[in-house]
C-alpha cells in the first residue's frame, strides 16, 4: 500500500527550539473554514452586523417593504425618499465589503462559491436599485439589499463563532501553563537547605529543578526527583483519576498537582512540551483535508454553478413572461440568496473541528483527519503485543506455595529480591508493592552468580532462583510445586523458586503483564463488530496464552520486526480494512501500511510520527473510543450534508417563482432569513456531537 497518504512532518526543528520559549504559542484566531474567511475574524463580522442592523432600520422605515406588508407609512419630509438609497448604499459598501472581497478571491482562484453568489446577489440588487433611484422605471430593492446584507453578516458571525467555540479547546490548553515557576537552586536540589526563587516560566532550562506545590500547575515537562503526589492529567490526557507520581516518573506541563509536594527536573519547556505538541497535532488535524471535506467543496462548487444557471434562467423566463424587469430582478436576487451553499460549507468543517477537539480532550490526538474519517470503515484491529496490550514489564502471574499462603510467600520473595537489579527480581518486588505488601530491607544480601540471590530475613536464610539454583543445592520440589512450574513453562511463562535453605517453599510464574484495560478494550471492539488480531515476535505458546486471556480472534506469533508490514498487507489483500496499534520503532512500517495507524503515546517518537492517531494515555480502550468517534462524526456529516443540500434543492424552485401562479412567492429578505436558519440548524446539529460519551 502506498504511504503517500501519510504526511510525515520533520520535527527536528521542534526539538531545536531555544529554551527561552515561553508558553506554546496560542493558535491563530479561528477563521472558520476555507479561504472565503481569510483575513476575517469573528469580531469583524459581529461589528459589521450590528452597525449594518442600525443602518437597515431607517432603510426599512422609509422604504416600501413595511408599507406593502403591513400598510405602515413613514413620516414624509423634503428628501425623505432618498433615505433608503443613502442608508442602503452605506450597508452595501460597509456590510457587503467582506462578501465582495471574498468573491474577488474566489474568482481569482477560479473557484466560485458562496461568496460569489452573495456578492452577485447584493451587487445586482444595488445596481438595479441605484438605477431606479436615478430615474429608471421600476421598484428599488434597497430594503431587500440592506436586509440581505445584515442577515448574511449574522449568518457568517454565527458560523465563525461556532467554529471558534469548537477550536476553543486549543486556547484552553494554552492557558494551562502557569506564568511563573519556583526554581530550586541546583545545589539545593537535595533535601538540604532549599534556596527557592520565583522565575518566569520562559527562563526555565533543561536540567533545572522546580518545586511544584500542592494545587499548583506543573510549569514544564520533567521527571520527579523528590516527593510523592497524585497529579490531575485530565486536561491533557483525558484521564479522570489522579495519576500517582513518585521519584523517576514523568510529569506533563500544564497538569495540576494534588496534595503532595514535588521536585521536578525539567526536560522540556515551551514549544518542546507535550502540551505544545498536542496543540500542534490538533491544529494540523483541523487544517488537514479529508475526503468528506473535498466532497462538500465539490458539491458547493457545482451548487454555485447550478445557482448561477438557475438565476439566469429565472431572469430570462420572467422577462419573457412580461413580468417586468423589477420583478424579474427580485426573483433573480431571491434565487441567488437561497442558493448560497452556506450551510453546505459549514456542514463538514464544523463537525471536523468539534470531533478533533473532542478527541484531543479525551486523549485521542488526530494527526491526519483521514485517519479519523477512515476509522469508521475498519473491520479489523491489529495490536502489537509488547507495550500495547501488555506493559512490556514482567509481573508475577501465578503463585503456588507449600506450608504458607501465597501473600506470605510473595512477601518473603520480595524482601530477598529487593536489592537485586535482575528484571525478574524487579517483577517480584513490583508485584508485591502493587498488591499493597510492605517490603522491608533484608540483611546479608548476596547475589549467587548464574543461580539467584539469597538474604537473611528475621534470622533465617532464604534464597530465590531458577532451576539452576535447585540443581546446585540438590533441592527437589514437591510434586505439586513441580507440576505448577511445568504448567507455567507450557504457557510460555518463566518460573523462580523460593527456598528455605535447600527446601523449596514456593514457586512464582512470571510473564509480561497484561495492561489492566486490555481485556475491556477487546470486548468493546467486539461489541462494535470488529475482529481483533495480535501481532508479536514472541513464541507461539506465549502469544497463544495472551490471546486466550484477552479473547483475541487471530494470533500472529513469531513475526520478525521487518515482516509486520507484510502481515498487514496480507490482511488487506483478504479485503479487510485494517488498523494497526503499536508503540515501537519496529511497528512504524506497519503503522504506515495500515489503513489507520494508531500510535501509543508512550511509545517511541518514530511510532508516534508514523501514526494517523496518537493515544496519549497509552490506553488500548481508546481504540474503540476512536472508532465510536469516527462513526458518530460521519453520521453528523451525512445529516448535515443531507439537510444543507436538500434545503437548496427545495428552496431554489420556490425562489425562482415556480409556485407564483398560486400566490406563493419567496421574498429575497425571507430567503435570506431561511438561508441563515439552515446554517443555524447545521451548526446546532454539529454541536450535538459534544454529547457523545467517549
Judged by DSSP in three states, 509 sits in: strand
Q: Helical H runs in 321-401?
A: 325-339, 342-361, 369-374
Strand partners, 366: 613
Q: Helical H runs in 498-621?
A: 518-527, 540-550, 564-573, 588-593, 605-610
Secondary-structure percent of the chain, ordered helix, strand, coil, rounded to 5: 55, 15, 30
Cα dihedral 59, 63, 65, 71 sign: positive
Beta carbons of 297 and 243 less than 8 angstroms apart = no
Strand partners, 510: 396, 494
Q: Which of 297, 384, 595, 612 is catalytic?
A: 384
Cell of 484: 505448577
Length of the chain measured in residues:
694
Residue 204: φ, ψ to 5° = -70, 145
- How many CB atoms lie under 10 A from the CB of residue 13? 9
Is 619 among the residues known to form the active site? no
C-alpha span between 297 and 292 (Å, rounded) = 9
Cell of 7: 504526511
- In what order do the strands lie in the sheet containing 250-251? 196-200, 180-184, 209-212, 262-268, 221-227, 250-251
Strands 531-535 and 380-384: parallel
C-alpha span between 306 and 339 (Å, rounded) = 9
Q: Tell me the catalytic residues.
A: 384
Amino acid at each position: 500500500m502506498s504511504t503517500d497518504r501519510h504526511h510525515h512532518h520533520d520535527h527536528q526543528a521542534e526539538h531545536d527550539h531555544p529554551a527561552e520559549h515561553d508558553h506554546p504559542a496560542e493558535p491563530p484566531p479561528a477563521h472558520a473554514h476555507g479561504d472565503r474567511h481569510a483575513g476575517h475574524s469573528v469580531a469583524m463580522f459581529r461589528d459589521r452586523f450590528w452597525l449594518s442592523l442600525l443602518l437597515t432600520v431607517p432603510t426599512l422605515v422609509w422604504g416600501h417593504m413595511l408599507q406593502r406588508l403591513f400598510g405602515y407609512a413613514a413620516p414624509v419630509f423634503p428628501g425623505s425618499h432618498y433615505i433608503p438609497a443613502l442608508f442602503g448604499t452605506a450597508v452595501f459598501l460597509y456590510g457587503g465589503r467582506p462578501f465582495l472581497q471574498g468573491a474577488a478571491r474566489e474568482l481569482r482562484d477560479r473557484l466560485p462559491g458562496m461568496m460569489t453568489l452573495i456578492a452577485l446577489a447584493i451587487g445586482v440588487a444595488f445596481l438595479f436599485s441605484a438605477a431606479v433611484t436615478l430615474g429608471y422605471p421600476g421598484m428599488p430593492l434597497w430594503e431587500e439589499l440592506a436586509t440581505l446584507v445584515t442577515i448574511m453578516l449574522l449568518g457568517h458571525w454565527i458560523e465563525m463563532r461556532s467554529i471558534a467555540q469548537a477550536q476553543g479547546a486549543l486556547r484552553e490548553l494554552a492557558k494551562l501553563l502557569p506564568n511563573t515557576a519556583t526554581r530550586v537552586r541546583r545545589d539545593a536540589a537535595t533535601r538540604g537547605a532549599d534556596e527557592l526563587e520565583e522565575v518566569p516560566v520562559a527562563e526555565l532550562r533543561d536540567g533545572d529543578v522546580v518545586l511544584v506545590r500542592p494545587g499548583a500547575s506543573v510549569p514544564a515537562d520533567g521527571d520527579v526527583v523528590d516527593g510523592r503526589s497524585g497529579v490531575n492529567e485530565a486536561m491533557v490526557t483525558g484521564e479522570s483519576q489522579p495519576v500517582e507520581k513518585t521519584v523517576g516518573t514523568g510529569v506533563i506541563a500544564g497538569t495540576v498537582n494534588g496534595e503532595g509536594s514535588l521536585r521536578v527536573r525539567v526536560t522540556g519547556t515551551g514549544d518542546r512540551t507535550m502540551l505544545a505538541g498536542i496543540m500542534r497535532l490538533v491544529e494540523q488535524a483541523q487544517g488537514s483535508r479529508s475526503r468528506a471535506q473535498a466532497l462538500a467543496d465539490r458539491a458547493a462548487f457545482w451548487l454555485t454553478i447550478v445557482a448561477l444557471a438557475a438565476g439566469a434562467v429565472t431572469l430570462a423566463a420572467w422577462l419573457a413572461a412580461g413580468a417586468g424587469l423589477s420583478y424579474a430582478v427580485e426573483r433573480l436576487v431571491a434565487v441567488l440568496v437561497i442558493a448560497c451553499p452556506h450551510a453546505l460549507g459549514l456542514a463538514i468543517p464544523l463537525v471536523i473541528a468539534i470531533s478533533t477537539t473532542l478527541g484531543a480532550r479525551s486523549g485521542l490526538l488526530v494527526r491526519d483527519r483521514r485517519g479519523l474519517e477512515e476509522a469508521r470503515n475498519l473491520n479489523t484491529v491489529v495490536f502489537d503485543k509488547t507495550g500495547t496490550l501488555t506493559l512490556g514489564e514482567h509481573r508475577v502471574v501465578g503463585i503456588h506455595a507449600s506450608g504458607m499462603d501465597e501473600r506470605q510467600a510473595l512477601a518473603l520473595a520480595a524482601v530477598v529480591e529487593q536489592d537485586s537489579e535482575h528484571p525478574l527480581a524487579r517483577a517480584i518486588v513490583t508485584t508485591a508493592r502493587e498488591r499493597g505488601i510492605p517490603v522491608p530491607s533484608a540483611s546479608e544480601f548476596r547475589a549467587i552468580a548464574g543461580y539467584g540471590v539469597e538474604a537473611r530475613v528475621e534470622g533465617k536464610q532464604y534464597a530465590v532462583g531458577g532451576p539452576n539454583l535447585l540443581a546446585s543445592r540438590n533441592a527437589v520440589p514437591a510434586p505439586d510445586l513441580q507440576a505448577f512450574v511445568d504448567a507455567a513453562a507450557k504457557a510460555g511463562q518463566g518460573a523462580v523458586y523460593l527456598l528455605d535453605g535447600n527446601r523449596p517453599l514456593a514457586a512464582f510464574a512470571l510473564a509480561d503483564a497484561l495492561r489492566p484495560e486490555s481485556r475491556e478494550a477487546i470486548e468493546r471492539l467486539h461489541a462494535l463488530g470488529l475482529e481483533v488480531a495480535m501481532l508479536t515476535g514472541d513464541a507461539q505458546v506465549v502469544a497463544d496464552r495472551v490471546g486466550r486471556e484477552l479473547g483475541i480472534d487471530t494470533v500472529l506469533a513469531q513475526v520478525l520486526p521487518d515482516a509486520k508490514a507484510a502481515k498487514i498487507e496480507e490482511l488487506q489483500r483478504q479485503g479487510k480494512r485494517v488498523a494497526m496499534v503499536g508503540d515501537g520503532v519496529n511497528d512504524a512500517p506497519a503503522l504506515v501500511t495500515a489503513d489507520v495507524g494508531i500510535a501509543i503515546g508512550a511509545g517511541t517518537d518514530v511510532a508516534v510520527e508514523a501514526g494517523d492517531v496518537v493515544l496519549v494515555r497509552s490506553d488500548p480502550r481508546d481504540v474503540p473510543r476512536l472508532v465510536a468517534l469516527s462513526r458518530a462524526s460521519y453520521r453528523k456529516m451525512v445529516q448535515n450534508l443531507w439537510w444543507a443540500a436538500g434545503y437548496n434543492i427545495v428552496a431554489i424552485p420556490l425562489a425562482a417563482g415556480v409556485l407564483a401562479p398560486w400566490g406563493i412567492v419567496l421574498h429575497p429578505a425571507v430567503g435570506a432569513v431561511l438561508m441563515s436558519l439552515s446554517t443555524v440548524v447545521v451548526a446546532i446539529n454539529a454541536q450535538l456531537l459534544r454529547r457523545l460519551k467517549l
